[in-house]
Amino acid sequence: METTPTGSPAAAPLLQVDGVTLAFGGVRALGGVGFAVQSGSITAVIGPNGAGKTSLFNTISGFYRPSAGSIRFRGQDITRVPAPQRARLGLGRSFQNIALFRGMTVLDNIKLGRHAHLQTNVLDALLYLGRARREEAQLRADIEERIIDFLEIDHIRHAPVSALPYGLQKRVEMARALAMQPQILMLDEPVAGMNREETEDMARFILDVRAEWGVTVLMVEHDMGMVMDLSDHVVVLNFGQVIAQGAPAEVQADPEVNRAYLGSGDVGDLRRRFQATAGVP
219 and 129 in one domain? no
Which CATH number does the domain housing residue 245 bear?
Answer: 3.40.50.300
* Number of domains present in the structure of the chain: 2
Predicted TM-score (pTM) of the model is 0.82
The pLDDT of 225-235, averaged and rounded, is: 95
Q: What is the 3-state secondary structure (H, E, C) of 141-171?
A: HHHHHHHHHHCCCHHHCCCEHHHCCHHHHHH
85 and 28 in one domain? yes
3-state secondary structure of 52: coil
Angle among Cα 252, 15, 231 to the nearest 5 degrees reads 30
Q: Which structural domain, as residue segments, surrounds residue 164?
A: 98-181
191 and 85 in one domain? yes
Strand order in the sheet with 233-238: 91-93, 184-188, 216-220, 42-46, 233-238, 241-246
Residue where one domain finishes, among candidates 181, 208, 236:
181
Torsion sign, CA atoms 100, 106, 109, 114:
positive
Identify the residue with better confidence: 214 or 269.
214
163 and 219 in one domain? no
Do residues 57 and 93 make contact, with C-beta atoms less than 8 angstroms apart?
yes
pLDDT reading at 44 higher than 90: yes
263 and 277 in one domain? yes
pLDDT tens digits, 245-264: 999 999 988 988 888 876 65
The pLDDT of 155-167, averaged and rounded, is: 91
- Nearest CA among 182, 190, 145 for reference residue 166: 190
Please state which of the ranges 128-132, 148-152, 274-278 shows the lowest mean pLDDT. 274-278
